[in-house]
Amino acid sequence: MALILSIETSTTVCSVALTESESVLAKEIRYTEQSHSTHLTLLIEAVIKKAGVKMSDLAAVAVAEGPGSYTGLRIGLSTAKGLCYALGIPLIAVSTLHAMAFQVAKVDDSGALLVPMLDARRMEVYTATYNRELTIIDEVRPLVLDENSFAETLTSDLLLFFGNGAGKFQEIMQHDHASFREDVVPEAWAIGLIAQQKYEQSAFEDVAYFEPNYLKAYQATKPKKLL
């Protein structure tokens, strides 16, 4: 059994968890925007204390690899790398969208295909499609939504859309085979449970060179000049 600290900072939600085998020992989550740099280390300290373990007990650190917020992913990964370097333990990366599908599969028994959506501004989302065994059907990608998105799949399959990008698709998509959930946010406990399987397979990342899966190049914006 491996004691794994997991970190999820792909969106405005900041989440940390400790998992061992198939159990979630402790978890913390904050919904405050633009607070990852402030809260992340505090949440790590909180779950370590809550579980009654020491940092030296950790076998690995797992982190959400994205897609998602550029800044959030950078903060999460840099923290994870720092811990791995300091403790001499491996780094495990888990797809944010895969983890979201894992979360929903735990609580939804509709039989629908799982389509996580993360808001990428305007009518664009980061998305992928998974079956109920969490095998990926449509690869992770950025997608500009319109009324014809997923039309072919919806003719034959039930689709469940969820995440903070699902709401804007619901506004333009009305179909008997489509259902929606906006209450799903990426959480670290799902990252940790998936990472347990990767740990058994020694599916580790290069701590020095691993980078998040941004999907799109970062574009900095200039602040508007004060009048």
Q: Where are the domains of the chain?
A: 3-96+185-200, 108-181
Distance between CA 207 and CA 92 in Å, rounded? Answer: 9
The tens digit of pLDDT for each residue in 158-171 reads 999 999 999 999 99
What is the structure's pLDDT at 38? Answer: 86
13 band by pLDDT with thresholds 50, 70 and 90: very high
Strand partners, 181: 162
* % of the chain at pLDDT higher than 90: 88
Is the four-CA dihedral 37, 53, 19, 92 of positive or negative sign?
Answer: positive
Distance between CA 105 and CA 109 in Å, rounded? Answer: 7
Distance between CA 210 and CA 194 in Å, rounded? Answer: 18
What is the structure's pLDDT at 217? Answer: 57
Question: Same topology for domains 3-96+185-200 and 108-181, yes or no?
Answer: yes
* pLDDT greater than 50 at residue 220: no
The tens digit of pLDDT for each residue in 128-161 reads 999 999 999 999 999 999 999 999 999 999 999 9
Cis bond leading into 67, ω under 30°?
A: yes
- Using an 8 Å Cβ cutoff, are 98 and 221 in contact? no
The tens digit of pLDDT for each residue in 52-100 reads 999 999 999 999 999 999 999 999 999 999 999 999 999 999 999 999 9
Which class would CATH give 108-181? alpha beta
225 band by pLDDT with thresholds 50, 70 and 90: very low
Average pLDDT of the chain, as a whole number = 93
In terms of DSSP H, where are the helices of 88-183? Answer: 96-107, 151-154, 166-170
* pLDDT greater than 50 at residue 124: yes
* pLDDT greater than 70 at residue 222: no
Q: Per the structure block, which two tokens stand in for 73?
A: 């992913």
Distances (CA, A) of 76 to 69, 128, 181: 10, 22, 26
- CATH topology classification for 3-96+185-200: Nucleotidyltransferase; domain 5 (3.30.420)
R_g of the chain, CA atoms, integer Å: 18
